[in-house]
Structure 1
Amino acid sequence: MRQEFSQELDNLHKSFSELGMMVNEAIYKSVKAFVKHDKQIAHEVIDNDYKINDAQVALEKHCFELIALQQPVTSDLRAVVTAMKASSDLERMGDHAVSISKSTIRVKGNERVPEIEDTLAQMADAVKKMSDEALEAYVHSDPASARRISEADHQINDFERKVYRLCIENMQKDPDTVVGAMDYQLVASYLERIGDYVTNICEWVVYLATGKLVELNSSAEEDKF
C-alpha cells in the first residue's frame, strides 16, 4: 500500500510540473503575441486555456481522491495539499495569460511605443524565469530556493512602476499613445499579478518542506497562522 501511495505522489508531482510548463508557455506566448502584435498567437493562447483548466481540475480531483482513499498524514498530507493549493495559483496565472492575449486582440491601430514594449518583454522574461525556478524548487522541495526566488518579485514590481512612468511620459508627449498606454499598463498589471502568484507557490514550497505557512515578501516575514 505504501509503495502504491508513493507512486501516486510521484504521478501527482509529475502532473503539477506538466501543468506548470503549460502555464509558463501560455505566459511566454501571450507576451510575445502582444509585443509582436501577433493576434494569431494570442488566439492560440485563448483557445488552449481549456487545457490548463482541465489539467488543474484533474489534478485537484486526484488530490481529493488521495486524501479520501489514502488518508495521508504529516509530510505526505503536506505534499497533497501543496499540489492542490499551488495548482490553483498556476491556473490563475494562466487566466492572466489569457487576459494579456485579449489585450493583443483588442489593440487596433493604436500608436505603439517600442521602449515600453521592450520593457514589457523584459518583465515577462523575469516573470518566466521566476516561475521556472519556482517549479524547480517545488520538484526538489527546496525552501531556501523558494525564499530566494520570491525576492525576485520586487524586480517585477519595479518593472511595473517603470512601465507606468513611461506610459505617463509618452501620453504627455503624444496624446495618440493614450489608448495604447492603457493596454500597456493593463499587461504590466497582469504580469505583476503573475509574479504574486509565483510568490504564493514559493510559500507553498516552504510549507511542503517545513510544515510552516509563511508570508514571503511582507515587511516582516511572519507565520500566516
Structure 2
Amino acid sequence: MSQELRSSFHEQLDEVRTGIARLGAGVTELVPRVTEILLDGDLEGAEYVIKGDDAYDAKSIEIEEQCFSQIALQAPVASDLRALVSAIKIIADVERSADLCVNICKAARRIYSHDLDSQLRGIIQKCGSQASLLFKEATEAYLNNDGVRAAALQDMDTYLDDLHRQFIQVIFESHAAGKIDLQVAVQLAVVARFYERIGDHAVNVGERTRYIVDGWIPQVPYAESRDDLPEASDIPT
C-alpha cells in the first residue's frame, strides 16, 4: 500500500471510529432517557424513541458498509484488519443496545398507568445509571484505543449483574405484597434483562477494543448475544 493510499485508509478508519463513537454516545444518552420514560409513563417520549430507531439502524448500516468497503479495496493486514473487523462487531453491539432501549420504551407503554413503588423506582434508576456509565466508558475506551480502561468494564458489569438480581428480587417482593399485578411483574422482569444485556454489550465493546489495541483475545468467548428474547407481550401468563 503506497503512502498516499495508506494515509487515505487511516483517514477512513478514523471516520469509522468517530462514527461508532457517536453512535455509542447516543446510547449513553438514550439509556437514562428511556429510564425516565419508563418511570414517568411518558407515552409521547416512548413513541419518539421507537420511531427514531430506524435512523439509528440506517447509520449503523452506513458505517458497517464503510468497513466492508475498506476491507475489500485496501486488503488491510495486522492491526488495521483487527480494527476493521472489530469495528463491524462493535457496530452490532451498539446497534443492539439501542434496540434494547426501544424495548424498554415498549414495556413502558404496556405498564402505562400502573404505579411503581419507591423501591422499584429506585432499583430501576440504579440499573439505568450503571448501564449508561458502562456504555460511556466502553465508548471512550474504544475512541481512545484505551485497553486499560476497556479492561475495567468487566468489574463494572459485575455490579450491574448484582443490580439485575436485586431488581428481580424486588419484583417478586412487590408482587407478593400485592403492589403490582402479574403482568406488570413480567414486564419489569424483562426490562431488568434488557438493562443487563446493555451492560453485556458494553463489555463486548471493551473486549474488542482490547483486541484492537494489542490482539488480546478473552479465554471465554464474548458474551453471548441472546437478545432475541421474546417481548414481554409475547410471554404467556
Common topology (TM > 0.5): yes
The answer for the alignment partner of 1:223 in structure 2 is: none
User: How far apart, in 2, do the equivalents of 1:108 and 1:204 lie?
Assistant: 38
Is the Cα–Cα contact under 8 Å of residues 126 and 156 in structure 1 kept in the other structure?
A: yes
Is the Cα–Cα contact under 8 Å of residues 90 and 208 in structure 2 kept in the other structure?
A: yes
Per-residue displacement from partner, 1:4-55 (whole Å, max 9, x unpaired)? 1111111111111111122223322211100111111111110100121011
The one of 156, 162, 168 equivalent to 2:160 is 156
1:69 and 2:73 are equivalent in the alignment: yes
User: How far apart, in 2, do the equivalents of 1:154 and 1:98 lie?
Assistant: 24
Root mean square deviation, CA, Å: 1.7
| Identical columns (%) | 28
The answer for the alignment partner of 1:22 in structure 2 is: 26
Within-5 A mapping of 1:35-184: 35-174=39-178, 176-184=180-188
Is the Cα–Cα contact under 8 Å of residues 150 and 217 in structure 1 kept in the other structure?
A: no
Per-residue displacement from partner, 1:147-195 (whole Å, max 9, x unpaired)? 1122111111111111111111111111644332222211111000111
Per-residue displacement from partner, 1:70-103 (whole Å, max 9, x unpaired)? 1111111111112111010001101111110000
User: How far apart, in 2, do the equivalents of 1:215 and 1:196 lie?
Assistant: 16
The answer for the alignment partner of 1:213 in structure 2 is: 217
Question: Letter of the aligned partner of 1:26 in structure 2?
Answer: L
Is the Cα–Cα contact under 8 Å of residues 112 and 177 in structure 1 kept in the other structure?
A: no
The answer for the alignment partner of 1:34 in structure 2 is: 38
Per-residue displacement from partner, 1:112-138 (whole Å, max 9, x unpaired)? 222112211111101101110111110
Normalised TM-score (structure 1): 0.91
Is the Cα–Cα contact under 8 Å of residues 123 and 156 in structure 1 kept in the other structure?
A: yes
Normalised TM-score (structure 2): 0.87
The answer for the alignment partner of 1:12 in structure 2 is: 16
User: How far apart, in 2, do the equivalents of 1:200 and 1:216 lie?
Assistant: 12
Question: Letter of the aligned partner of 1:12 in structure 2?
Answer: V
Q: Which runs of 5+ in 2 are unaligned?
A: 223-237
User: How far apart, in 2, do the equivalents of 1:175 and 1:127 lie?
Assistant: 26
* Segments ≥4 residues shifted beyond 6 Å: none
User: How far apart, in 2, do the equivalents of 1:4 and 1:74 lie?
Assistant: 17
Distance 1:59 1:128, change over 3 A: same
Q: Could you tell me how far 1:111 is from its partner in structure 2?
A: 3.7
3-state SS, counterpart of residue 207 of structure 2: helix
The answer for the alignment partner of 1:222 in structure 2 is: none
Distance 1:148 1:7, change over 3 A: same
Is the Cα–Cα contact under 8 Å of residues 86 and 209 in structure 2 kept in the other structure?
A: yes
User: How far apart, in 2, do the equivalents of 1:120 and 1:148 lie?
Assistant: 23
Q: Which runs of 5+ in 1 are unaligned?
A: 219-225
The answer for the alignment partner of 2:232 in structure 1 is: none
